[in-house]
Structure 1
Amino acid sequence: MSEETKLPIPYARIGIENSELGTTSDENGVFSIDLSKSNKGQNIKIEVGGFKPYLNSVESFLLENNKTFYLADRILNIEQVVLIPKKLVSKNWGINAKTKKIVHLQPSKKSTRYFKRTCTSVCSREKN
């Protein structure tokens, strides 16, 4: 449960550290995990994004009478980010283009290689 709001925390990850044994809580924060075969000296960890993790030894975890665990909110101070828009320059690549040459790459009819063609005037006027 959340320490601040006292509401259940859904989808928390519960598991034994450095082990493949673990589970996830449901939408109501309820979970079940079989610790009978785990080493009592290992640690059990409960964690979920936005909260500080709960960490305790398996032995202490099993001895606790209260099976409700409270996780404290993890508050991070994030520095302000300032976005500065970049002024875009409009370029005309049409008939009134400032550049006199436009390079095109077109596939050759006889091979799969490309050949370079430079247009010095409007390309649509060229002869086929």
Structure 2
Amino acid sequence: MKIKFIFFSLLLFSFANSQIISGKIISKENNQVIPYARIGIENENRGALTDENGNYSIDLSNIDTSKKIIVQLGGYLSFEQIVKDFINSNNHTIILKEKVNEIAELKISPKTFESKNIGVKSKAKKMLYGFSSNGSNQAVYREFAIPFSNKKRLKIEKIHLNIAKFKTDKPIVLNFNVYSNKNKQPAESILLENLTTEITEDKIIDGTFTFDLNNYSVWVDKEDFYVSVQVMSGFKGDFGFSAALLRTVFERTFYSNWEKITAGSPAINIDVRIEKEKRPAT
């Protein structure tokens, strides 16, 4: 009888300390749900993704309640709230506000801007950053960010991913972000729009998947920056980027600290229109 009582007490204790919070993430501007958004805890590798209908369920058990709940998504202002206040809230619908474009676009012409392709261009098949999955929608995939040095004003027109392996049962959802630089690592997102797309085998041409950004406004103004990619959906099969040795990549899971890796990086490169040097008047 005593053993049963102890077991029952342990169950009650476990239930009492369980803090699984469910809710929805929506846009303030149009009240639409936001799929594939990350909700997590600052400096922790724990969190959750919203599903296709904007729903999330996050386990906050044994989390330091003085830390912050964070939601970051390209094109939206960051959401932050103390974990304790978030748990005690009666409403767990998170409302994200869209960013306001305060940067005037420049008219691009061959006289003032030139086209370049920069980044990691390896098409190696045997060296890769790979993922294997059993189809779980709860799978957590790390975010990879590639650094770019820049001293000019430029517009990102296309993002290219060189693919070494793609054998999956369904399309894979990818999310891209562009971060500013602080202390030589990714900092704040500078995107004014959310960059999410699907990759399927037929979209991979000559080993490369291209995400066209010509209809987006992705400008970088005379600063170093980072372009990141993350798998956001579950699948069955194998998927991997080509990789290059001795190149730098930054990695993290949810909102854990960025980890710098210099042994090699995934093949991510971008097409840009970059401002030409102004010639001195003669």
- Please indicate the TM-score interval, normalised by the length of the shorter structure: 0.5 to 0.7
The one-letter code matched in structure 2 to 1:78 is I
RMSD over aligned Cα atoms: 1.3
What is residue 61 of structure 1 aligned with on the other side? 86
- Displacement of 1:80: 2.5
5+ residue gaps, structure 1: 87-128
What is residue 37 of structure 2 aligned with on the other side? 12
What is residue 70 of structure 2 aligned with on the other side? 45
- Displacement of 1:28: 1.1
Match 2:97 to one of 72, 83, 92: 72
What is residue 29 of structure 1 aligned with on the other side? 54
Tell me the distance in 2 between the aligned counterparts of 1:83 and 1:55: 37
What is residue 170 of structure 2 aligned with on the other side? none
Tell me the distance in 2 between the aligned counterparts of 1:30 and 1:15: 14
Structure possessing the higher radius of gyration over alpha carbons: 1
The one-letter code matched in structure 2 to 1:48 is L
Identify which of structures 1 and 2 has the higher relative contact order when contacts are C-alpha pairs closer than 8 Å and 6+ apart.
2
State the aligned residue count: 86
What is residue 223 of structure 2 aligned with on the other side? none
- Displacement of 1:36: 1.0
Tell me the distance in 2 between the aligned counterparts of 1:84 and 1:3: 36
5+ residue gaps, structure 2: 1-25, 112-282
Tell me the distance in 2 between the aligned counterparts of 1:82 and 1:4: 28
User: Does the 8 Å CA contact 1:11/1:48 hold for their aligned counterparts?
Assistant: no
Q: What TM-score results when the alignment is normalised by the length of structure 1?
A: 0.62
Query: 1:58-78: CA deviations, max 9, x gaps?
Result: 100000111111111112223
Aligned pairs (5 A) from 1:109-128: none
User: Does the 8 Å CA contact 1:17/1:42 hold for their aligned counterparts?
Assistant: yes
What is residue 108 of structure 2 aligned with on the other side? 83
The one-letter code matched in structure 2 to 1:36 is S
Tell me the distance in 2 between the aligned counterparts of 1:49 and 1:14: 13
Q: Secondary structure at the match of 2:84?
A: helix
- Displacement of 1:82: 2.6
- Displacement of 1:23: 1.6
The one-letter code matched in structure 1 to 2:37 is A
- Displacement of 1:49: 1.2
Q: What TM-score results when the alignment is normalised by the length of structure 2?
A: 0.29
Tell me the distance in 1 between the aligned counterparts of 2:49 and 2:91: 19
